[in-house]
Chain A
Amino acid sequence: MASTQAGAGIGIANLPNQRHAIASKKGSALTMMIAGESGLGKTTFINTLFTTTIKAPKNHKRRFNKTTEKTVEIEIIRAELEEKQFNVKLSVIDTPGFGDYTNNRDSWMPIIDFIDDQHESYMRQDQQPKRQELSDMRVHCCLYFIRPTGHTLKPLDIEVMKRLGTRVNLIPVIAKADTMTPTDLHKFKKRILEVIAAQNIQCYTFPLESDDEASTKRNMSIMAAMPFSIIGSTDDVLTHDGRTVKGRQYSWGVAEVENEDHCDFKKLRQLLIRTHMLDLIHSTEETHYENYRRAQMETRKIGEPKVKTVTNPKWKEEEEALRKRFTEQVRLEENRFRSWEQQLIAERDRLNKDLEAEHSHIKALEAELESMQLGLSPKRK
């Protein structure tokens, strides 16, 4: 192999700059899912992370207008962020209703189906003859918000996280971390990690080794902080030593969002945006999507639609109820038609009888007429 070691070089070293120019112009697209019970600070966190109101806080005045539909919804919020002329198309997927009801059995189905549907949609589009304009909503990472109970993960958490971990980059997050003292938080994190390991929940990991020492150290400290404890706030407050920070003002002090002694917000932001956004996107495309595609290809041919199995028991009940109603309605209508038919037959018989009566009357008259004619005609002859 010939190697060029000329003094000026031929310009291969400029390739990264060209790459940079192309990437800057193209921009990036990030799809992030936030899952967890309501009231854990998900909306506040997103607004804190991107320092802008991506999603408006909940409007409580409308809570009495809600219908009693006990469902989990999928809400997509889109935003375009720009910093120093670099664009990011951000999509945030929220899951309102998850974990909020008395009975949360199978409440993870809409979330899991959504993630799979995005992989499916991309796969189908990729198989089309024309594939320039792909709409890619594959979820690049899922932040799962854990309630700060101080005990351990709940059975519901475990069920969902197990299913999420195999489909998407799962990042567990301890919400409202300012509820716990540092010792409690440390114990809680440890216990969560034990449960994650024992239950085989796959969380997001990334290669720690890097070219420079500083990056490696930073990567290791980020990994060590998992699950990330966070405090969210979009308000500016004044600390006791005169600084203005984003934080929460209690009667007993100010909990600061960006203070690394108070929570892991900075580390998480670093992970999501500054250092590992591309890794999140690539691993979704290269690992999770490929896993999905492989699993599907093994059983389906190209172009064949996905077999949808409706296993939701709530739907089965509804289906049964609808079927019952339908048969009931049909029965009622049939009865109605039958009685109508009876009426018509009775009417017809009655009319036929009348007709016959008239007929015999006419015959009688005809006979009379004939007998009268016969009576007359002999006279003429």
Chain B
Amino acid sequence: MAHRIGRRKNVKKGFQFTLMVVGASGLGRTTFINTLCDADVVPKRESDEPEMAHVEEAIKIKPYTVELDEDGVKISLTVVDTPGFGDMIDNEYCFQEILGYLERQYDDILSEESRIKRNPRFRDNRVHALLYFITPTGHSLREIDIELMKRLSPRINVIPVVGKADTFTPTELADFKKRVMEDIEHHNIPIYNFPYDPEEDDEETIDENSELRSLLPFALIGCEEEIMVNGRKVRGRQYPWGIVEVDNTQHCDFAKLRFALLSSHLQDLKEITHDYLYENYRTEKLSRSADNLSD
């Protein structure tokens, strides 16, 4: 409930939220970002020269900031895109790049906190949540999926999502989600699973969180164009056999995820980042330097 009280205080000031998006190219990452912000935040990927298609591109980290208005609440959203992830023949290097970026933001806060005279205009660039796009193979998690989520979950709230979920029929989607969650449990990957306390929290919170937990990994479909369906304009994809609607909860989980990220669970994600993930990093780092000094 604490986060709701906090909301009333901050409504006028607005919120700041940083979200990182990771996934192999072609899974709808860029389209998702643009669909989430309802604007062309990330420019469409430039068509590379065919002669250069065999050249492997290393991963890049690109933050974009957008001002959103959610039902009267202002949100300054920073989306960090990671083009090039998983595109090389050997992808071992990708994990360290992302981890390095996350830890650098923590280092900045650490050094700022330790200052005698702190900067009032200091920008907190810590990333509050990571959406990991799982390739919709229809089988189970791939090695790179498991490796990435395992390595990054100690530093950031990892939320797995399935990109291009319109690849699946309803039965296939349910089976795939189940297998992914089984894999996550088998490999002990601590993802953000909308935690709640069955004893402390009220029924509404418990229901809300259980429902979101049962949707993991969120099935996403992204689309920036609008098309006409039965006289109304919707965001959707037009196939010869039908139309998929982005905002239709029967077709995908986009709407529910958006609400969780930007409204109901925004504070929770930030609190966990600050109170738990950052604190762990701080403890580890300071103990390491204490050990180094004592050597």
Contacts and interface: CB of A to CB of B under 8 A. Distances in A.
Interface of A: 37-41, 58, 60, 63-64, 70, 100-105, 147-156, 158-159, 176, 178-179, 181-182, 191, 194-195, 197-199, 248-256, 259, 261-262
A154 B87 contact: yes
B166 interface: yes
A91 B54 CA distance: 32
B50 A60 contact: no
B140 A63 contact: yes
Nearest to B250: A251
A154 B53 CA distance: 7
B240 A199 contact: no
Given A39-B137, A103-B91, A104-B90, A197 B238 contact: no
A195 B53 contact: yes
A250 B144 CA distance: 29
Given A103-B92, A149-B26, A159-B89, A249 B169 contact: yes
A191 B96 CA distance: 32
Secondary structure dominating the interface of B: loop
B55 interface: yes
Contacts of B45: 151
23 contacts: A38-B137, A39-B136, A39-B137, A41-B138, A63-B140, A102-B91, A102-B144, A103-B90, A105-B89, A149-B26, A150-B26, A154-B87, A159-B89, A178-B167, A194-B50, A198-B49, A199-B53, A250-B166, A252-B242, A252-B245, A253-B242, A253-B243, A261-B240
B195 to A, nearest CB: 26
Contacts of B244: 250, 252
Contacts of A154: 87
A250 B91 contact: no
A259 B27 CA distance: 26
A155 B56 CA distance: 6
A194 B233 CA distance: 35
B89 A253 contact: no
Given A155-B55, A199-B53, A178 B239 contact: yes
A148 B27 CA distance: 9
Interface string B87-119: 111111000000000000000000000000000
Contacts of A176: 167
Contact of A255 (B51, B53, B139, B239): B239
